[in-house]
Amino acid sequence: MSDYKLLINGKLVAGDQTMDVLNPATEEVLAKCPRASKAQLDQAVAAAKAAFPAWAKTPMAERKKALNAIADVIEKNGQELARLLTQEQGKPLADATGEVFGTAAFFRYFTALDLPIKVIDDSEGRKVELHRKPLGVIGAIVPWNFPLILMAFKLPPALLAGNTVVLKPAPTTPLTSLKLGELIKDILPPGVVNIITDANDLGGALTAHPDVRKISFTGSTATGAKVMAGAAATLKRITLELGGNDAGIVLDDVNPKETAPALFQSAFQNNGQVCIAMKRLYVHESIYDEMCDELAKLAKAAIVGNGLEQGTQLGPLQNKMQFDKVKEVIEDAKKHGRVIAGGAAQGGTGYFIQPTIVRDISDGTRLVDEEQFGPVLPVIKYSDPEDAVARANASPYGLGGSIWSSNPDRAYKLAVQMESGSVWVNKHAELAPNIPFGGSKSSGLGTELGEEGLAEFTQLQVINVAR
Ligand code: NAD
């Protein structure tokens, strides 16, 4: 028996099977979790389909009220959700608290948006209007690094636009989503939101389901490609937020001591398990040694531990698979560069890795070319800024990037040459609900957040009336 339940058609139900969810800091079983069967997935989609016509007709003001009520209930249960998030995901409690309250803020943000009818031609011969209609059932698929906030990229705009949803969190972090299901059960009409869990085996069926009109997916590039293929037969709409290998480029006019803390945070926040973490850092040769030393100092001073303990800055890696992968990437990096901080797993229980800085490493190595998705940063020397931008762009990924300089105009000229969906100047990885977010190249398809993100949960309809 599990303390957690699926949410299907407004009811909390047991899974047809169960699975264990581990706490990555202790490797102990945190909870028995329901695991939905294919039949339960079908029930969830059927419930969402049945709920759609009435929800689509519900006035926007009512839908906004529901989003605000969800934000209220998240805030009211914020401490409990944050503790659970730390236990299932690993991140420090302060970060988990930030994620929970950020999730509520994302729900509230969307209540400020509308989908007004836009008149684009009002002439003697015709009146042409653009309407934004809901699509139907949305499949929302979320990864394990930010289970709540990434869900909040999807649910609020989907619901505001009049769609209904089947949400599937990642198998290693399902508990906060299931808890959310309990909390919102009576806020929404039955079937408007359904939450199911799996052991990485239902994503394909959700993607291919003929009654699902759109998949909003966040996860790896490899799985994103499977989603795209799976959606093809039914011509589903898809939004794909995928992997990244964000470059940061530090110009020669930067003060290493002053800038290193922000660079460190950009790379090591959430243990580097952030799609838009800075994953390779290009530093001008004139300040290279000093910057490497400053970053190594910060890495050595970082407190790694159980996220529930006060003072912890970096928790464990989220799961064993990622833990093993990052260790492997570090071992490989040792052959191609010099480790000046960290370099190993902590030993003992839990998926802990000391924050690792690797210098004297270059492009053409796993650590630089691949998405490491963990607490290890390669620092690469360059001499010509244009060349650094070219190297940053020579990647199949194109999610984010940043330029750091004491001269913002100089940085801006390089920023516009970056081939990524987001580019920051003197910061990295800043996201906000009103700022559209999406990847170029293999980092994704489409946009989330902001008005552009809301529009992706709608079908454009043109009404053209003769006069
Ligand atoms: P993943 O692709 O393994 O899993 C993501 C989700 O997809 C999970 O819920 C999983 O169960 C599901 N899934 C698995 N197989 C599926 C299939 N065949 N069809 C449909 N869904 C399927 O990713 P992950 O390891 O959980 O997350 C890490 C990755 O996510 C990294 O590459 C990271 O960069 C990326 N990410 C991207 C963003 C972004 O906004 N661009 C944000 C966070 C994470």
pLDDT 10s digits, 126-163: 999 999 999 999 999 999 999 999 999 999 999 999 99
Q: Which of 33, 99, 275, 456 is catalytic?
A: 275
Rounded to the nearest angstrom, the distance between the alpha carbon of 336 and the centre of ligand 1 is: 29
Does residue 142 line the site of ligand 1, with CB under 6 A?
Answer: yes
pLDDT digits (tens, 9 = 90+) for 447-467: 999 999 999 999 999 999 999
Measured over the CA atoms of residue 266, residue 371, residue 251 and residue 438, the dihedral's sign is: negative
Q: How far apart are CA 53 and CA 66, in angstroms?
A: 17
For the question of residue 292 being annotated catalytic, the response is no
Residue 448 DSSP code: B
Asked if 251 contacts 288 with a C-beta cutoff of 8 angstroms, the reply is no
Asked if 254 contacts 410 with a C-beta cutoff of 8 angstroms, the reply is no
Does residue 36 line the site of ligand 1, with CB under 6 A?
Answer: no
pLDDT digits (tens, 9 = 90+) for 296-338: 999 999 999 999 999 999 999 999 999 999 999 999 999 999 9
At residue 346, the pLDDT reads: 85
Rounded to the nearest angstrom, the distance between the alpha carbon of 204 and the centre of ligand 1 is: 12
Does residue 134 line the site of ligand 1, with CB under 6 A?
Answer: no
Contacts of 225 (CB under 8 A, 6+ apart): none
Q: Which of 88, 241, 448, 456 is catalytic?
A: 241
Does residue 242 line the site of ligand 1, with CB under 6 A?
Answer: yes
Does residue 397 line the site of ligand 1, with CB under 6 A?
Answer: no
Does residue 322 line the site of ligand 1, with CB under 6 A?
Answer: no
To test ligand 1's pocket by mutation, which of 214, 218, 430 has the most ligand atoms within 8 angstroms of CB?
218
To test ligand 1's pocket by mutation, which of 99, 138, 220 has the most ligand atoms within 8 angstroms of CB?
220
Q: Give Cα separations from 279 to 223, 243, 325, 367 (angstroms).
A: 20, 11, 15, 9
For the question of residue 28 being annotated catalytic, the response is no
Asked if 32 contacts 18 with a C-beta cutoff of 8 angstroms, the reply is yes
Helices (H) and strands (E) in the chain, counts: 16, 22
- Other C-beta atoms closer than 10 Å to the C-beta of 29 total 11
At residue 347, the pLDDT reads: 85
pLDDT band at 225 (very low <50, low <70, confident <90, very high): very high
Does residue 139 line the site of ligand 1, with CB under 6 A?
Answer: no
Rounded to the nearest angstrom, the distance between the alpha carbon of 193 and the centre of ligand 1 is: 21
Residue nearest (by alpha carbon) to ligand 1 atom 21 = 203
Return the closest-CA partner of residue 88 out of 146, 7, 142, 155.
146
At residue 349, the pLDDT reads: 96
Contacts of 242 (CB under 8 A, 6+ apart): 218, 219, 220, 221, 224, 275, 399, 439, 442, 443, 444
Rounded to the nearest angstrom, the distance between the alpha carbon of 121 and the centre of ligand 1 is: 42
DSSP secondary structure string, 300-333? Answer: HHPPBS-TTSTT-SB---SSHHHHHHHHHHHHHH
pLDDT greater than 80 at residue 83:
yes
Query: Given the CA of residue 223, which atom of ligand 1 is nearest to it?
Result: 2
Does residue 236 line the site of ligand 1, with CB under 6 A?
Answer: no
pLDDT greater than 70 at residue 266:
yes
Rounded to the nearest angstrom, the distance between the alpha carbon of 218 and the centre of ligand 1 is: 5
> In the structure encoding, which two tokens stand for residue 360, read together?
């004297």
At residue 345, the pLDDT reads: 85
* Size (the chain), residues: 467
Instruction: Identify the residue whose tokens are 């009002």.
Output: 122
> In the structure encoding, which two tokens stand for residue 432, read together?
């906000």
Q: Which residue has the higher pLDDT, 2 or 16?
A: 16
Mean pLDDT of 88-99: 98
pLDDT greater than 70 at residue 37:
yes
Does residue 371 line the site of ligand 1, with CB under 6 A?
Answer: yes
Return the closest-CA partner of residue 404 out of 424, 390, 387, 379.
424
Mean pLDDT of 8-19: 98
Does residue 238 line the site of ligand 1, with CB under 6 A?
Answer: no
Mean pLDDT, the chain, integer: 98
pLDDT greater than 70 at residue 286:
yes
Query: Given the CA of residue 219, which atom of ligand 1 is nearest to it?
Result: 30
Q: How far apart are CA 149 and CA 86, in angstroms?
A: 14
> In the structure encoding, which two tokens stand for residue 50, read together?
């049945």
Query: Given the CA of residue 439, which atom of ligand 1 is nearest to it?
Result: 41
pLDDT greater than 90 at residue 18:
yes
- If phi > 0 it is left, if psi is from -120 to 50 it is alpha, else beta; for residue 342 that is left
Rounded to the nearest angstrom, the distance between the alpha carbon of 220 and the centre of ligand 1 is: 4
Asked if 374 contacts 400 with a C-beta cutoff of 8 angstroms, the reply is no
pLDDT digits (tens, 9 = 90+) for 238-252: 999 999 999 999 999
Query: β-strand 376-382 against 278-284: which pairing, if any?
Result: parallel
Return the closest-CA partner of residue 400 out of 435, 451, 365, 364.
435
Does residue 226 line the site of ligand 1, with CB under 6 A?
Answer: yes
Asked if 455 contacts 130 with a C-beta cutoff of 8 angstroms, the reply is no
pLDDT band at 64 (very low <50, low <70, confident <90, very high): very high
To test ligand 1's pocket by mutation, which of 151, 221, 275, 456 has the most ligand atoms within 8 angstroms of CB?
275
Does residue 173 line the site of ligand 1, with CB under 6 A?
Answer: no
Rounded to the nearest angstrom, the distance between the alpha carbon of 274 and the centre of ligand 1 is: 12
Burial, 384: exposed, middle or buried (Cβ in 10 Å; 0-12, 13-18, 19+)? exposed
DSSP H stretches of helix in 305-431: 320-334, 366-369, 385-393, 408-415
pLDDT greater than 90 at residue 255:
yes
Phi (first) and psi of residue 77, to 5 degrees:
-105, 20
At residue 1, the pLDDT reads: 63
